[in-house]
Structure 1
């Protein structure tokens, strides 16, 4: 039997939040955005999330032609135990019409202060009636990842946003566990979001195909290998 999902409550008071203020301006023919979250629609759902409590932010430049590029740091390496990470991206985004659009791009993950290999991720997706559906293919130093992502923003019953992520991980070197080896695994998450009295509330359920002693091989997107329910409350200070 798999253990009952544990409950984790995270209350975060910080200016660096999921819906924090974005400063906008112009730089020649480009629109410039400075903020504490990735401003790209597909990148925002597919890039590796920032650790809770870390200092993070970035910039984004976009052109009327649909070309964009920028950098985002999920962690500035200021907090104890956090390493500097810089995610550089470039892409192209265009609407077919008012209800349908597409986006393709690439993200490069680098860790300047850590002796580890960089990694790359190709992503793309469609926007349909305000909802987004994406796919990403990445090559981490120790494994290959294929991710499917959906953000059903275009249809929010009772004002509740729904987003889902499903990833398969193929290890470059099988990991030894009790009774054998693990060469691949999957993980997934479902998030329900709703603003309430100035606070952004997120209810997240995450899980993976591993359990018990096999969890020693887990290195996926979720914070835990086994089923986990997370209630997150975020309030913007500016």
Structure 2
């Protein structure tokens, strides 16, 4: 079990919280240092998130396809937050403009908490412009297996389609109101997206196989257990 080198990312604690990335080429290496995530993994399935006022990290990649980095979603500087350090290692290789693959792992650690570290293994494939990903995480309280597909290689009427399905297995079953226990559940989401006048329009439907009183045991990726239809309009100003 390795421990992350926290001093590498602690340099970012004094940086302003606005998103920014500093990039520099060092021979065959490309170094990125910033307060916004510089990489998504498994062809877009695994994306670092920011949960604290101070966050940042570094990413170092080589021309051969290897990359390594650390990302800290929260520096744990406020009483309501805890330090989290995500260290990752991966290999990404395109065969040509239409075919490529990626494999790697992430190690999640929480130095301020008496909790076990967790790991996530991931892989991705790019085929004719579409992206497919899979990830397996072994957390202290559960195991999650996720499949992802972004069919951007074939967009009828300019509409993109993304699908995500996750199976959750809890280490300790959760008791619900009727006396039953929930140890496994699944959730999924479908997203339709289309750019319009510089605005990203997204229509998202999410659901799970739990309903009624069983929803008290839900703790998946979606914002709620039951079916939910969400419309989002986003515009980037920089």
Shorter chain as denominator, the TM-score bin is 0.7 to 0.9
Counterpart position of 2:212: 212
Shift of 1:174: 0.9
The correspondence of residues 17-166 of structure 1 with structure 2, limited to 5 A, is 23-34=22-33, 36-42=36-42, 44-47=44-47, 49-50=49-50, 56-77=55-76, 81-166=80-165
Query: Deviations along 1:112-156, whole A, 9 cap, x unmatched?
Result: 344432210111121101211111111111111111011122222
Computed over aligned residues only, the root mean square deviation of the Cα atoms, in angstroms, reads 2.7
Query: Deviations along 1:55-94, whole A, 9 cap, x unmatched?
Result: 6554322111110111233445568855443322110111
Q: Which structure 1 segments of 5+ residues have no match?
A: 1-13
Give the number of the structure whose alpha-carbon radius of gyration is greater: 2
Query: Deviations along 1:173-221, whole A, 9 cap, x unmatched?
Result: 1111123100100011112222333333322211111111111111111
CA gap of 1:196–1:46, structure 2 versus 1, over 3 A, is same
Q: Take 1:40 and 1:27, find their aligned partners in 2: how far apart are those partners?
A: 22
Matched residue SS, 1:73: strand
For normalisation by structure 1, the TM-score amounts to 0.79
Q: Take 1:195 and 1:82, find their aligned partners in 2: how far apart are those partners?
A: 35
Matched residue SS, 1:25: strand
Q: Which structure 2 segments of 5+ residues have no match?
A: 1-16
CA gap of 1:122–1:200, structure 2 versus 1, over 3 A, is same
Counterpart position of 2:170: 171
Higher-RCO chain (CA-CA 8 Å, sequence separation at least 6): 1
For normalisation by structure 2, the TM-score amounts to 0.79
More divergent stretch after superposition (226-235 vs 119-128): 226-235
